[in-house]
Amino acid sequence: MSDDRLIVAMDVPNVLEGLELANTLGDSVNFYKIGLGMLTGGGLALANELKQEHGKRIFLDMKFFDIGATVEAAVRGVAQFDLDFLTVHGDPHVVRAAREGAGGSNMKILAVTILTSLDRADLDASCVKAGAVADLVQERAGIALANGADGVIASPQEAALIRALPEAQGKLIVTPGVRPAGAALGDQKRVMTPAQAIANGADHVVVGRPIWQAANPKAAAQSILAELASS
């Protein structure tokens, strides 16, 4: 049985491998994330096929960032495909433009706070203002939600801080940087297990490589689903 709290990141190279993975996982997984890495490999076509022909939910992870008019136009274009989630950067002007572009569609606009592959040293290298990463994530989340985001993307380590914000009431928290116990971290730096992420207030956990790189992807997904069911 699937559980929509699990979103599988389909970070494979192209549509054919994406469809193969979806067929392998079958009814175990109902929610997929398709990101920039597959954009030139037919990612939008795959999103539409999984949504319209297979009845799956789709999180399009594009992380739009541009001037307001461009973001609004891009989001309006995506909204016509009846997808479920779309990411934009959490800057206020971007979130407001995305909200306008989404119009009356059911697509949820999720704001990126600070990527889960970054730590304080990375922020220093990018001239981001001083402060603990968790505090900056909470601040960015509050600003994004106040400007119309339907939810935020943040690591599970910050989920509880965000959930405590008044602005977060009724909003979504989606957490990448989720790794089952014992799994390789890869390029993620701020991680927790699926059960820990949900306990901290996340609505959805995003898991990619620990599933699609596994010798048995369906068994890997079912193990995570069992962990979520017992959390």
**With helix as H, strand as E and coil as C, how does the chain read?**
CCCCCEEEECCCCCHHHHHHHHHHHHHHCCEEEEEHHHHHHCHHHHHHHHHHCCCCEEEEEEEECCCHHHHHHHHHHHHCCCCCEEEEECCHHHHHHHHHHHCCCCCEEEEECCCCCCCHHHHHHCCCCCCCHHHHHHHHHHHHHHCCCCEEECCHHHHHHHHCCHHHCCCEEEECCECCCCCCCCCCCCCECHHHHHHCCCCEEEECHHHHCCCCHHHHHHHHHHHHHHC
Can you tell me the distance from the alpha carbon of 1 to that of 31, in angstroms, rounded to the nearest whole number? 12
Our answer to whether residue 63 is catalytic in this structure is yes
Q: Which of 33, 51, 56, 63 is catalytic?
A: 63
Give the residue numbers marked as catalytic: 63
